[in-house]
Amino acid sequence: MAIAALVPGALLGWVVYEAVGGGGGAEHPAAAPASRTSAASSGASGNSASPTGSAAADAKGQSAAGPLAGKVVVIDPGHNPGNFRHTTEINRQVDIGTNKKECDTTGTSTNDGYTEARFTLDVAHRLRTLLEKQGATVKMTRDGNSPAWGPCVDERARFGNNARADAAISIHADGSAEGDRGFHVILPGSVHAGAADTRKIIKPSTDLGTRIADKFQRDTGEPPSNYVGKGTGLVTRTDLGGLNLSTVPKVFIECGNMRDSKDAALLTSGAWRQKAAQGMSDGIVSFLRES
């Protein structure tokens, strides 16, 4: 979830990477960005993804039978492959309660051009499948064909709120320096300012995040971050609109560092991404079955 936009070299790598169909054999590559016309149909601003429901849900929004029947999970795949073409739109400032921040960023990429946006969508698809098998109703803030950019961070938060999610997770990968590696789960800090009030979600979000961190490490073998979190795999932040504006239990996960060669080898592996999705699913299931 690097804050800086993709550098020109990374953009060139992305173009080459997409052209040759890279990504370790991803089963769910991100589709080409949707047209603004189709994206506009989902919201007045034209960039909001309409609630993308579970493939297992019927016309009434009910999921298949299972231990998580009746539970709603929102998956937020970070960034968007079209963001770098819409810099004006994603640089627009939005209110996150404590201050204003960019609508979204481009995200990062591996040195070979495998983008964070593509990674997050692939893992999100895998996670959705696993949770549907448990009977959960799953909704995604974006999918392969929409929107063309964004959604903005405040819209991503509202998506989970409007869905009345029992749990929400925003999937990312980091863009730190070579040698910085490992995962970390970001928990909401205490914020009560403007439109933001996280006080009611801190405890359940911490429980959710702790369970995800435990299962993610177990299932993937990925160590906790060696550059943030002091080896716990957990970090608390108050500067993320997706957490500040959430009214439902929500966490972010940085699955690894795309700029580190060891982590990049994992993140570009389809087999490892399946393990990553399994770890997230196991943590979410554990949380929901006891909540």
Catalytic residue among 155, 222, 254, 290: 254
* Burial call 28-66: b when 16+ CB within 10 Å, e when fewer: bbbeebbeeeebbebeebbbbbbebbbebbeeeeebbeb
C-alpha angle 135-136-141 in degrees, rounded to nearest 5: 145
**Known catalytic residue: 89?**
no
For the record, the structure tokens of 224 come out as 């906790």
Instruction: Give the integer Cα–Cα distance in Å for 137 and 131.
Output: 8
Residue 254's H or E segment, with its range, is strand 250-257
Q: How far apart are CA 269 and CA 275, in angstroms?
A: 10
* Helix, strand, coil % over all residues of the chain, rounded to 5: 35, 20, 45
Among residues 205, 112, 197, 238, the alpha carbon closest in space to that of 213 is found at 205
SS3 at position 194: coil
- Residues 142, 117: contact at Cβ < 8 Å? no
CB 105, CB 10: distance < 8 Å? no
Catalytic residues: 254
